[in-house]
Structure 1
């Protein structure tokens, strides 16, 4: 029963938090709305419907064939870690502290795994697919090779919770925050009061040459 709850709730939260804002951003691209907030003006406006459909298919394959098995594995890893699966909610202080640690772990992992994926041996096989979007759009956040998806999306989402043995409530809040953040950073729009995706957009525009 716990396995079913862990996988189902986590997957639904991640899926909803990904596709709700990503779909709204894609609507902006399709209708060429808010051009003044577009970081790379004139790109993906209007966007090719065939490109959108191709992206949607690949992202769903990653979500179903990679993320779901990853969640099953993470459950058993959390059990082995003796994580807090009690029916009692953690305190607000504990939740906030864990979220801070999750963020730090995510930043470190994302930085070094991303550098690794830009190495010339790995880039052309795994990470190059993600960089096909020179001007990224929100739904392209998880447009990637399955190996890239594991390293860039699945592992950083569960590494912090596994390290601390966190309660599912804390993990689910983290999944919502980190999923929303990655969609914003691939949106291609700099909208007031939301995190700025300028840096990530520039990274896609000026892809760093793989190291030799």
Structure 2
């Protein structure tokens, strides 16, 4: 079904505002969009893809600007490796190609699949508390998926044929967060959507707005982790279990270890941390074990 030709979006907004004055302004905007489009799959597909593009490139832009500011070099983790404009442009072209050929179909078919399991798109929206605890669960589930799938992608044949593309940049930058082969995009993307779908299938309690906020936060996390910058105010200084750019930058520099996305605990527990501090701890443990054996 095509969008209504006799009514405008703002006509629908006015009608909904009169019929349901208890809804807040954002809820009325939301309801008017679905009413105007007249097709939930189309309405969700367009909104989801546009949101993804605006957030991805919108969040990458500040890092691109910072890369052109010599005064910020002191915060660059690998200070001598600032991406050139050509590298940024080459990266953007592949990312855009991936978005339209790989991610767009996934985004488009997400709504009917998730709706089958009970996803809701109606108003009013869920409470902030409900969205907050659900998103926290999604972060934990995705981080677990990311750790194991990312670690598997570093196995010889999988690395050579799939994951090597993402490691083209040993000093990552924000725009390169989704610079990867189509297969990797699908594998890691599955971790982002499978947690919410599983939650929805079990609880029958998930609104697509919660999903949108989760995706936005996950994109911010991925782009910031690839930024290549470490600041005194970086989040991991306040939340020690948060991974952040210093965690993932080391992974790109050393090509091994630090496989998690958002948190540090899988790498810590399974002893796959990378970097000088991790090596120092291993040496200390090995020395202590040797002394104990004497």
Query: TM-score, normalization: structure 1?
Result: 0.91
Which position in structure 1 is the counterpart of 2:255?
207
**Which protein has the larger Cα radius of gyration, Structure 1 or Structure 2?**
2
Which position in structure 2 is the counterpart of 1:114?
150
- Say whether the 8 Å CA contact 1:84–1:168 is kept in structure 2: yes
Moved more, 101-110 or 20-29: 20-29
- List, as ranges, runs of 4+ consecutive aligned residues in structure 1 with deviation greater than 6 Å: none
**Matched residues in 2 for 1:96 and 1:24: separation?**
26
The one-character-per-residue Cα deviations of 1:125-167 (angstroms, maximum 9, x if unpaired) are: 1100000100001101111101111112x21221122112221
Which position in structure 1 is the counterpart of 2:192?
157
Displacement of 1:114 in angstroms is: 0.3
1:24 aligns with 2:62: yes
**Matched residues in 1 for 2:100 and 2:156: separation?**
29
Displacement of 1:33 in angstroms is: 4.0
**Matched residues in 2 for 1:190 and 1:198: separation?**
6
Instruction: Write out aligned runs for 1:43-54 (5 A).
Output: 43-44=81-82, 47-54=83-90
Query: TM-score, normalization: structure 2?
Result: 0.67
1:172 aligns with 2:212: yes
**Matched residues in 2 for 1:127 and 1:73: separation?**
25
The one-character-per-residue Cα deviations of 1:73-104 (angstroms, maximum 9, x if unpaired) are: 22221022122233231122221121111111
Instruction: Write out aligned runs for 1:1-212 (5 A).
Output: 1-44=39-82, 47-152=83-188, 154-165=189-200, 166-195=206-235, 196-208=244-256
- Say whether the 8 Å CA contact 1:13–1:175 is kept in structure 2: no
Extract unaligned runs of 5+ from structure 1. Answer: none
Q: Secondary structure at the match of 2:66?
A: helix
Q: How many equivalent pairs are there?
A: 206
**Greater relative contact order: 1 or 2 (C-alpha under 8 angstroms, separation 6 or more)?**
1
**Matched residues in 2 for 1:117 and 1:5: separation?**
35
- Say whether the 8 Å CA contact 2:121–2:209 is kept in structure 1: no
**Matched residues in 2 for 1:98 and 1:11: separation?**
22
Displacement of 1:13 in angstroms is: 2.0
Q: Secondary structure at the match of 1:189?
A: coil
